[in-house]
Structures are given as structure tokens and as C-alpha cells.
Amino acid sequence: MSDKDERQIARFLKEELEDAGLEVKLQQVASNPYWLYDGGGRCHTRPNVIARAGPKRGKKLILNGHIDTVSGSTMKQPFQPRTQGDRLYGRGSADMKGGVAATIAGTEASLESGRKLKGEVIITLVVDEETLGRGTIDFVKSERADFAVVAEPTDNTLGIAQAGYLDFNIYSSGSSQHGQTTLPRAWASAFVQATNVCNKILSDSSIIRKVQGEPSMESTFNFSPTSFTPLPSLAWMTMEEYRINCLLGLIPQKTSTESERNAKMIVNRVRRLVRESNSKGQRNRFELVDMKSGFIQARNKYTGAFERAMQTALGHHKHSYVLSFCDASYIYLAKIPTILFGPGKMEQGHSTNEYTSIRQVKDATSVFAHAVENILC
């Protein structure tokens, strides 16, 4: 999706929301994610869509979603939506246009019901969620609210906790030689060294773990090669240089301070594993790219109001843990109580056959309509 496409989406949403009677402004955000980089170092100005309804004095409810997507290069006709049964296919359908549609339709339904709002609902449809989070970060710099719902795909469950993450690189150095002369103890292959470190991370119970509870929470780990020399030649030649990019999902703690402390502890643990490997003849280097801590939302009267909305519309208020990091943490860190709720499954986001459930979008619309009334009426 280009910055031009985002501007078109923003104009469409602005018109839709204005037609529904909301006060709408476009907030310009300067950001330059990697797939928009033009080679000249220019920052693209991209539009947040901020829509408001209800009296400004009183409670404030934020309904947050993002209008940017990851690249559609792995999909056929990614931005040509198609339906098959209950599924709507297309890039961004799960992550997270289904949630955006439900927040808008739910708010419109609440306004059309004729019930008078005693507070303000603020729909924030932001850019840059898939990279730096500048859209939401810029918005919360000057905005406060009593409660926020981020409409990421949670399979229509109530996300009360969100994972943080460590993004880091492992650089490994080996030596070039015939693959059949390579002795394991010599660590000639940089590829073998790098994957050995990743395997140590996977087997370390202080890093990769599961916490039982309501909801249960679990570490995640994925890694991918980003550079290597020489070019792959099966196993008959060793790799001289190899770099792996790693994404380690962190289990959040009860407070943001504890979550940050835990993240730093895991960084130190990974550094220790690298040092231990190097003490046995390997040549690895750790580089931290980014670190974000997740959160666990403590129960409050607003989560209770949202649970009642779910019970009315869905017949349940199941809780869940959101594995993927998103803008919810930026809102939470701005001292605004935050939960996550939206149609679709997170694992469908970014996938080649991304889709969301049409039925779930309709159900989520009903939940949002009831939630706006429960919290603001």
C-alpha cells in the first residue's frame, strides 16, 4: 500500500464518518516505513483519521484501529477483495479492516439509536501501526481518555493482555572450506553457529516459557536469515558470514515497570547464551534492534461494561492474550486503560491467504454499539 493509497482511504473514511454526523479531522503524521522509502531520506506525511461524537465534557472512549497494512507482494490481487462463504479475503481484511469496519458501524448504530451520549466517543483510525506506531504515538501525545479499545483481531474475545517483543540480530563468522572436511568442534560454518544460538534460546526455560492462568500466556520465537556469504551451495561449502534476525515474543508482567525489567533480563540472558557459545570456539555477536514491553490490563468498571456488551451480543465474554505487539501498548503507556477486541484471527494477519469472518464483523459491530452505550450513556 502506498502513501497515495492511504490518503484515498483517509478521504473515504472522513466522508463516511462525516455523513454519520461525526466531527472529523485528518491529523498529519510524518513517518517513513521501509516499504515507502524513496531513497532520498524524505519522510512521508500520512493521515490519521480522528472522528468524534458526543459532549467533550464527560467520559472519553477511544476506539482505535489502523488503516495501513503490510505489503501485499505475497498475495495475488491483494487489494481486490473477494468473498467465499463467510470469508472476506484480501490484504488487511483480518489485520485489521474488519475491526475498523466494526468500530465505525457500531458507533453509527449507537448514534442512530437516539440514545444521548453523556461523554465523547473518539474513533482513531491511524497510520504506521505496522512499523513505528507513529500514528497512535502522535495522537496520545495530546489526548487523554478514560478507556480505549483497540480493534485488532482477537477472534471476538476480550484481549486483556498483549505480548511485548525483542527484535535482535545474531551475526556469526566462520571460515570457508569443503563441507565434508568440517569437524563439528571447529565451528567452521557461520550458519551452524547462528542456528546453534537460536536453538539454545529455544531450549532455555527462562526465556521460552508458558504461564498458566486466565488467560494463559506463552513466549513466541521466530528467526529468519537476512544476509549470508557465500551464496548457498548446499552443504558442500561452509558459510563464512551469516546474519539472523530474531523476533522473540515476551510474556507481559503485572505492571509496565515489571514488564520492562523482564524484557531487559531476557536481553541479558540472550547475551549470556551468545557469550557461552563463543567460549566454546564460536564467533557470534548480538545486536538489539528494538525492545517493546507488553501489558496486562487490570480489571476496572470499563472492562466490566465491555464484558456486558459482549454478553448481550455474543452470549460470552471470553478473555484472551494477544501474542502480536500492536498500538495498544502505546495507549496503555499513556496511562489510558486499554483492552483489545476485534473480529478475525491474528494468525491470518500478514498471511498469503489473509481473510476475516463476515459473521464476526457483524457480531463485533453489535458489541461496539452496546459498548458505546454501556460506557457513555
10-residue stretch averages of pLDDT, the chain, 377 residues long = 77 97 95 54 83 96 96 90 96 96 98 94 96 94 96 98 97 94 94 97 97 94 92 86 97 94 97 97 97 95 98 98 95 97 95 96 98 97
**246, 268, 292: which is the final residue of a domain?**
292
Q: Measure the CA–CA gap between 91 and 344, rounded to whole angstroms.
A: 13
Q: Are residues 222 and 343 in the same domain?
A: no
List the one residue out of 272, 273, 262, 257 whose CA is nearest residue 219.
262
Q: Are residues 233 and 281 in the same domain?
A: yes
Q: Are residues 357 and 257 in the same domain?
A: no
Q: Are residues 304 and 208 in the same domain?
A: no
Predicted confidence at residue 12, as pLDDT, reads 96
Predicted confidence at residue 37, as pLDDT, reads 43
Residue 120 DSSP code? E
Which helix (H) or strand (E) covers residue 50, if one does? Answer: strand 44-53
Q: Are residues 280 and 360 in the same domain?
A: no
Q: Measure the CA–CA gap between 60 and 54, rounded to whole angstroms.
A: 9
Predicted confidence at residue 131, as pLDDT, reads 86
Q: Are residues 110 and 129 in the same domain?
A: yes
Q: Measure the CA–CA gap between 45 and 65, rounded to whole angstroms.
A: 19
Q: Are residues 32 and 119 in the same domain?
A: yes
Predicted confidence at residue 5, as pLDDT, reads 80
| Residue with cell string 498529519 | 28
> For the domain that residue 265 is a member of, what is the CATH number?
3.30.70.360
> For the domain that residue 41 is a member of, what is the CATH number?
3.40.630.10
Q: Are residues 131 and 26 in the same domain?
A: yes
**261, 292, 323: which is the final residue of a domain?**
292
Polymer length of the chain? 377
Q: Are residues 10 and 149 in the same domain?
A: yes
Say if pTM beats, i.e. exceeds, 0.85. yes
Predicted confidence at residue 234, as pLDDT, reads 83
Q: Are residues 7 and 72 in the same domain?
A: yes
| Residue with cell string 488503516 | 67
Predicted confidence at residue 197, as pLDDT, reads 98
**240, 270, 292: which is the final residue of a domain?**
292
Q: Are residues 34 and 53 in the same domain?
A: yes
3-state percent breakdown (helix, strand, coil) of the chain, nearest 5 = 35, 30, 35
Instruction: Identify the domain containing residue 346 by its residue range.
Output: 3-162+295-376
Number of domains making up the chain: 2
